Amino acid sequence: MNDPAGVDPIIVTRWLEFETDVGSVRDITGDVCEAVLGSGLEEGIATIFVPGATGAVTTLEHEEGLVRDLGDALERLVPEEIEYAHNERWHDGNGHSHVRASLIGPSLTLPFSGQSPVLGTWQQIVFLELDTRPRHRRVMVQILGE
Amino acid sequence: MNDPAGVDPIIVTRWLEFETDVGSVRDITGDVCEAVLGSGLEEGIATIFVPGATGAVTTLEHEEGLVRDLGDALERLVPEEIEYAHNERWHDGNGHSHVRASLIGPSLTLPFSGQSPVLGTWQQIVFLELDTRPRHRRVMVQILGE
Amino acid sequence: MNDPAGVDPIIVTRWLEFETDVGSVRDITGDVCEAVLGSGLEEGIATIFVPGATGAVTTLEHEEGLVRDLGDALERLVPEEIEYAHNERWHDGNGHSHVRASLIGPSLTLPFSGQSPVLGTWQQIVFLELDTRPRHRRVMVQILGE
């Protein structure tokens, strides 16, 4: 919690930490809102970034149906059970995880205004665990504002 | 138009508003350029953000052919007529809209220099209406610069 | 190299320039790290942007296997040899290049801290040449920080 409150901060860094399950889609909206509020900044942007090649971040209406639909789409587009050169070389078995992560992307920048992220009513910020085993994840929220 | 011109602004917020048709791909380059120019900032970045779970933003050479090709690709990758758990639960009929939006993403950050966004000659900023009905859309342009 | 070092810079612009081969996936992590280090900024964000409609940027564990896997996935999702309205109108033969670029996206924003981009151990920043001929590419790194 490195908050230089009161001295017109420009950049504030926060880390979210959590454990994941395989295939999980985690709603991190509350954590990001809290990070923005805690920064003391009124207006700006927050970059949410996944350091790691098998996780991704995007937005989604986080309800049970769509969580399943997004997972189904990823399995349809980048199936787990086809051949990956990555698996042949490294025997990780997570070639599909890497490709899916590159497709969705590790970074989301969203504006905030009045100390609150600008989001649609049914739009949540989600972290996608795309790896083949549960992971401990750290996601950075880099907040720039005034 | 909340432009604190003259006092070395760091952040300037603009909203774009428009009506959409189903499946439309709207060229918003001119609006974004105008927003950047109107901010009075010379150098920086602009984050274009869609508050809503069934719209998306990316870049595309905005010509009739590619607009059709991108739509065809989305229909091939995330077809409208397959089963979605979202539709079963909520009877919205727009499960595909949500999944497509998560795939493309709601946010685009682009640099500007000399008061103008840095874009390729044939590269336009586009808003994708992915929902199943015409919508009134508000898209935020959050401009950070000096 | 427009570095106003010493006077508390907020924004620093760098350009990466390189030649590409068709289908190449270029690791630009070193160049981005150097740009961030050269900016003299400690904390902030860097936006990596491709001005052009047939290139893209994302992250990937840059090893031979995954480079092939990502290329295979793009060919499976957006095949070169199907019909594109773009090709019919303009006879460019690169309709698939444009669609792939819109899907992956031209922009990546990543945080840096302690003068260094925040990345996972096996996560590299990659430029994807999606066009059908070798290109001279310029990629912008717009750095905001303190």
- Three-class secondary structure of residue B86 per DSSP: helix
- Comparing B29-33, B90-94, B112-116, B118-122, the range with the smallest average pLDDT is B90-94
Half-sphere exposure of A36 (CA within 13 A, CB side): 24
Q: Per residue in A49-105, pLDDT tens?
A: 999 999 999 999 999 999 999 999 999 999 999 999 999 999 989 999 999 999 999
Closest-CA distance, B121 to chain C, in angstroms, reads 7
A contact chains, 3+ CB pairs < 8 A = B, C
What is the pLDDT of chain C when averaged over all its residues? 94
Q: Do C120 and A85 touch (CB under 8 A)?
A: no
- Three-class secondary structure of residue C15 per DSSP: strand
- Comparing A119-123, B25-29, C87-91, the range with the smallest average pLDDT is C87-91
Who's near C44: CB < 8 A, 6+ residues apart? Answer: A11, A142, A144, C111, C112, C143, C144, C145, C146
Q: Per residue in A108-136, pLDDT tens?
A: 999 999 999 999 999 999 999 999 999 99
Q: Hunting for tokens 């009124």 — which residue is that?
A: A42
Residue C92's pLDDT band (cuts 50, 70, 90): confident
Q: Do A13 and C43 touch (CB under 8 A)?
A: yes
- What ranges do the domains of chain C cover? 11-145
Q: Do A105 and C105 touch (CB under 8 A)?
A: yes
| Percent of chain C predicted with pLDDT > 90 | 91
Residue C3's pLDDT band (cuts 50, 70, 90): very low
pLDDT given at position C116: 97
CATH fold of the domain at C11-145? Jelly Rolls (2.60.120)
Q: Do A47 and C43 touch (CB under 8 A)?
A: no
Q: Is B109's pLDDT higher than 80?
A: yes
Q: Do A53 and C145 touch (CB under 8 A)?
A: no
A103: left (phi over 0), alpha (psi -120 to 50) or beta: alpha
A49, A59, A104: which to substitute to probe chain B, counting the most B Cβ within 10 Å?
A: A59
The pTM for the full model equals 0.95
H or E element, residue C38:
helix C29-39
CA distances B127 to A56, B28, B140, C94, Å, are 22, 7, 12, 22
Q: Per residue in C41-51, pLDDT tens?
A: 999 999 999 99
Contacts of A95 in chain C (CB under 8 A): 65-66, 69
Q: Is C125's pLDDT higher than 50?
A: yes
Burial readout A14-28 (b: 16 or more C-beta within 10 A, e: otherwise): bebeeebeeebbbeb
Q: Is B5's pLDDT higher than 80?
A: no
pLDDT given at position B92: 87
Nearest to C107 among B61, B70, B110 (CB): B110
Q: Is A6's pLDDT higher than 90?
A: no
Q: Is B140's pLDDT higher than 70?
A: yes
Q: Which amino acid belongs to residue C120?
A: G
Residue C144's pLDDT band (cuts 50, 70, 90): very high
Q: Do B61 and C142 touch (CB under 8 A)?
A: no
Contacts of B109 in chain C (CB under 8 A): 47, 49, 107, 109
Q: Do A142 and C59 touch (CB under 8 A)?
A: no
Q: Do A120 and B95 touch (CB under 8 A)?
A: no
Structure tokens at C130: 């999606």
pLDDT given at position C110: 97
How many residues in chain A? 146
How many whole angstroms separate alpha carbon A62 and alpha carbon A54? 20
* Alpha-carbon torsion angle B144, C4, C9, C13, nearest 10: 40
Nearest to A86 among C10, C66, C144 (CB): C66
Q: Per residue in A15-38, pLDDT tens?
A: 999 999 999 999 999 999 999 999
B contact chains, 3+ CB pairs < 8 A = A, C
C contact chains, 3+ CB pairs < 8 A = A, B
Q: Do C53 and B122 touch (CB under 8 A)?
A: yes
Vertex B58, ends A44 and C47: CA angle to 5°? 45
- What is the arithmetic mean of pLDDT over B60-70? 98
Q: Do B118 and C52 touch (CB under 8 A)?
A: no
Q: How many Cβ pairs closer than 8 A exist between chain A and B? A: 103
pLDDT given at position A92: 87
Closest-CA distance, B21 to chain C, in angstroms, reads 20
Nearest to A85 among C61, C68, C145 (CB): C68
